[in-house]
Amino acid sequence: MTELVIDRLGHRGDGVVNQPDGRQLYVPYALAGETVDVDMQGGAARLNRILTPSPDRIEPVCRHFGTCGGCLLQHVAPAPYAAFKRRLVVDALADRGLSPEVGETRIVPPHSRRRATFAGLMAGRHPLVGFNERASHRLVTIDQCPVVKPQLLAALPALTALTGLIAPRKGGLDHTVTLTSGGLDVSVAGIAARDVDRLRMPLIELAARFDLARLSAGGEAIVERRPAIINIDGVAVTLPPGGFLQASEEAETIMGELVTAAIPAKVKRIADLFSGVGTFALRLARQAEVLAIEGEAGAVAALDRAARGTSGRHRITAEKRDLARRPLLEKELEKIDAVVFDPPRAGAAEQSQWLARSKVPTIVAVSCNPATLSRDLRTLVDGGYRIESVTPVDQFLWSSHVEVVTVLKR
């Protein structure tokens, strides 16, 4: 038995103990101020018992918590949990020498996630589906999940049958399930091309048996029984197979409101960079003409089709372009009145450098990674921009991830 006192909550949701030699010891599921009993295994600590609990500790809402790796922070009370998410943003900004006021965390409700990726593998001849344990490839089968919409959990029998049909010999499968207006859209990754061809008819039959709207494998739509349509600001958008989508419609709405509110009323042309299928572009088109740039061809095509079917909005020009390799240059930005960018986790390092040289009056930066966002904000601030507002948006409930919407003015 090793007794420890937890000093603070780390950025990944672990309890942190500052050791005398200057190193830090991480204790999963422990909170600041708690006295805990741990087992030491190879320099790592495993929590046995909580000897003195924190007043911030509450009972987790899911019976799989502590085994399933999907949630790390269900044991934290709502107020300190929201403060933790805000601190992730404050600390990331401070690491880059930035200290703007950071707003309170906007949190989505439980059972709001409309998209999730489930792991599937074979245990001998038995297919298993669930989520991985924390920092492990071991799979935890689940019968409840307070994060996802109930319709996604109802897909487990179909995903189990799908795993058994494909029966991967090595590794496993990733089943991404999205709830659309047409029903469940399932995309399978980890299946070899030869298996897609061999199993095409059985896959079509499985989709019919479980009433799936669409079933895709390896990026190819095997069967589309009903269109995989989502609603973005009143516009019907057909998702490309495996295409990116904000995990929660509630979070998308919050971020959309923050982004559109930041754009001045009289702008004429807005650039929406890393636009995806139009999360912001379709909303922004109510205010001005939009140039939407995205690197994925399927997303560009989906946005273009959706934009053509709208009325009462300004024109949206959807362009395929890899902004990491071919960022929008200073000359191209001259006729742009406002820029919105929402890059992948790696951020927008190249594009930020060109934005910093531009004269664009308003920039709204959206990111799911506070570290790379802070790097890009540092570039913009050094180029003469001022951070006006920073808002954390927690669409990744009980995880150590957070979205951020930041408004900057030249």
Check if the beta carbon of residue 350 is closer than 8 Å to that of residue 370.
no
Q: Would you call 26 helix, strand, or coil by DSSP? A: strand
Catalytic residue among 62, 71, 145, 368: 368
CA dist., res. 19 & res. 2, Å (int): 13
Q: Is 368 a catalytic residue?
A: yes
Amino acid at 70: G
CA dist., res. 191 & res. 353, Å (int): 39
Measured in degrees and rounded to the nearest 5, phi and psi for residue 213 equal -70, -45
CA dist., res. 128 & res. 251, Å (int): 31
**What's the gap between Cα 399 and its chain centre?**
11
- Write 24-27 long-range contacts (CB < 8 A, 24+): none
**What secondary structure letter does DSSP report for 36?**
E
Check if the beta carbon of residue 175 is closer than 8 Å to that of residue 121.
no
CA dist., res. 131 & res. 148, Å (int): 12
**Which uninterrupted H or E stretch holds 83?**
helix 78-95
Known catalytic residues are: 368
